[in-house]
Amino acid sequence: MSEYFQNELVKEILSKYRTIWSLSHALSLMEWDMETYMPREGVNERGVAIAELSVLARKHLLDEKFIELVDRASLREDLNDYERGVIRVLKRDIEWNRKIPESVVYELARIRPNAHEAWVEAKRKNDFNIFKPYLEKIVDLVRKVSESVGYDEHPYDPLVDHYEEGLTTKKVDELFASLKLKIRPMVDKITREGKYPKHHKLEELAYDVNEAKALINRLLNLVGYPEGRGRVDESPHPFTIDLGRKDVRITVRYEGKDIKRPIYSAIHEFGHALYELQVDENLEFTPVARGVSLGVHESQSRFWENIVGRSYGFIKLIYGDFERTITSVRPESPLDLYLYVNTVRPSLIRVDADEVTYNAHIIVRFELEKMLINNEIEVGDLPELWAELYEKYLGVAPPTYSEGVLQDVHWSGGMIGYFPTYSIGTLLSAQIKYAVEREHRKSIDEILLAGEIGAIRNWLKERIHRFGSTYPPNVLLRKALGEELNPEYFIRYIEEKYSNVPEF
């Protein structure tokens, strides 16, 4: 047991926790396999296995003796920060699981693989009705989760708090209310000034998948994805999964056209992976050995994808590699490549959206989810409302379900309440940029061009990653950045970046 954990009660808790950790390790591997290589027809058996193991893990967590140990430890005043973190995370987890009936846990776990399969097929065939009955069941179960956990103000509250400790529907409402007013004017201004293009001709070009893979490998090497502690696979929806600190895997999706999509999605997932990879080794096998919340997690992926990946410095760094590796898509110059990866326009697909319009995609999903969980609308209303809200916030409407309501994997996994964390992360990523620059007295561009990308990784490790879930998100942010989430940094970042095109 690591030196961070000295308290005898905490040590006993951690030793019992090993079983839960191992079950969650196995579940992650099964999840990864399900979304990558599992034969399609294995889906039903996988559903049963995942549900049974989830219920088993829950039994260990809710074991009376285990809870008693955690309760006793929570009364101790001599615990260090790491020990307190372990107890905080376990108490949260116990509370959540204790309130939700086992049958709901089982049913949700049981239906997810089948729902995932149905979603893949529905999206491929552009047929919402294939997915609809599964989504109805899932929404019904998630409504039960919310009712079981309970809330003071809004049934969506327990769901957002589950993904982002301390977040409430009201806080998201307030955040989005001001953001909503700023997105359209920012996009209009950028479009009017015409320095950044709305479209780029390279977006229309097919690429060679093997070349794309080769470039992605080089780029992952450049940003520092460590050999031997992860792997890159393919899946219908890109994701990162940590089996532990030393096995953090990412996936990429190759659609064959518009090479910036797989490139930036790989850099995005790398940002998630790096968080897990840089958690302090002393926290291994404990409940705090992973990223603290999905918002903070997403700040890491968005930071690497946008703040680093779409910067002048990064394009300067990678242009040679791009030119040498990719013969199927030829930018005319570094400036041309920079403009290609920084087009700005209202679009249909969230994961491919530019950083200026991105949050509008999240606002649409948040509004729909909130109404869904509050029984104001039903699953059958989603396609039409989706189109209406896209028209309202982005001025575009999807011609197909695949490019609309079926585009994201999350609902098939029961992940409702998750989307707001994408905006939290996007806003935070800009806040992190200014914090890194303040401390280094250099811009991100200057750091990259000085060959000091490792200094960025190290800053993230020291300020954020190494703590895992030791501190709640807001405490971590105050320690790392000197303040909690402040959306003004994002607005400033967009205004600064898009008012000028750098000289190459």
Query: Using CA of residue 104, residue 105, residue 110, residue 113, what is the dihedral sign?
Result: positive
Q: Which SS3 state, helix, strand or coil, does residue 234 take? A: strand
Q: Which is nearer to Mg ion, 301 or 306 (CB)?
A: 301
Q: Which is nearer to Mg ion, 286 or 301 (CB)?
A: 301
Q: Applying CB under 5 A, which part among 199-207, 220-228, 296-304, 340-348 lies near Mg ion?
A: 296-304
Bridge partners for 249 per DSSP: 241
From the list 104, 464, 55, 111, the residue with the least C-alpha distance to 278 is: 464
Q: How far is the CB of 163 from Mg ion (least distance, A)?
A: 12
In whole angstroms, give the CA distance from residue 146 to residue 139. 10
For the purposes of burial, counting CB atoms within 10 Å of the CB of 451, is it exposed (0-12), middle (13-18) or buried (19 or more)?
Answer: exposed
Provide the mask over 451-490, with x wherever binding to Mg ion is found by CB under 5 A and - wherever it is not. Answer: ----------------------------------------
Q: Which is nearer to Mg ion, 70 or 266 (CB)?
A: 266
Q: How far is the CB of 271 from Mg ion (least distance, A)?
A: 8
**Measured at the alpha carbon of residue 215, what is the angle toward residues 209 and 219, in degrees to the nearest 5?**
140
Q: Which residues are catalytic, by number?
A: 269
In whole angstroms, give the CA distance from residue 53 to residue 150. 25
Q: Which is nearer to Mg ion, 275 or 467 (CB)?
A: 275
Q: Is residue 293 close enough to count as binding Mg ion by CB under 5 A?
A: no
Report the 10 Å Cβ neighbour count for 445: 18
Q: Which is nearer to Mg ion, 197 or 236 (CB)?
A: 236
Q: Which is nearer to Mg ion, 156 or 239 (CB)?
A: 239
Q: How far is the CB of 294 from Mg ion (least distance, A)?
A: 8
Report the 10 Å Cβ neighbour count for 173: 15
Where do we find the tokens 């205004």? Answer: 495
The residue count for binding Mg ion (CB under 5 A) is 1
Tell me the angle at which helices 260-277 and 209-223 cross, rounded to the nearest 10 degrees: 30
Q: Which is nearer to Mg ion, 35 or 445 (CB)?
A: 35
Q: How far is the CB of 239 from Mg ion (least distance, A)?
A: 8
Q: How far is the CB of 67 from Mg ion (least distance, A)?
A: 33
Q: Which is nearer to Mg ion, 200 or 268 (CB)?
A: 268
Q: Applying CB under 5 A, which part among 125-133, 294-302, 398-406, 409-417 lies near Mg ion?
A: 294-302
Residue with smallest beta-carbon separation from Mg ion: 301
Q: Applying CB under 5 A, which part among 24-32, 138-146, 150-158, 297-305 lies near Mg ion?
A: 297-305
Q: How far is the CB of 240 from Mg ion (least distance, A)?
A: 7
Q: How far is the CB of 244 from Mg ion (least distance, A)?
A: 20
In whole angstroms, give the CA distance from residue 315 to residue 273. 22
Burial per residue of 282-299, b for 16 or more beta-carbon CB atoms within 10 angstroms, e otherwise: ebebbbbbbbbbbbbbbb
Provide the mask over 299-338, with x wherever binding to Mg ion is found by CB under 5 A and - wherever it is not. Answer: --x-------------------------------------
Burial per residue of 313-347, b for 16 or more beta-carbon CB atoms within 10 angstroms, e otherwise: bbbbbbbeebeebbeebebeebbbbbbbbbbbbbb
In whole angstroms, give the CA distance from residue 120 to residue 408. 10
Q: How far is the CB of 256 from Mg ion (least distance, A)?
A: 22
**H-helix or E-strand containing 244?**
strand 240-244
Q: Applying CB under 5 A, which part among 140-148, 229-237, 298-306, 461-469 lies near Mg ion?
A: 298-306
**H-helix or E-strand containing 334?**
helix 334-341
Q: Applying CB under 5 A, which part among 86-94, 273-281, 295-303, 304-312 lies near Mg ion?
A: 295-303
Q: Which is nearer to Mg ion, 239 or 467 (CB)?
A: 239
Q: Which SS3 state, helix, strand or coil, does residue 373 take? A: helix
CA end-to-end span of the chain, whole Å? 52
In whole angstroms, give the CA distance from residue 57 to residue 41. 26
Q: How far is the CB of 272 from Mg ion (least distance, A)?
A: 6
| 104-123 positions binding Mg ion, by CB under 5 A | none
Interface contacts to Mg ion, rule CB under 5 A = 301
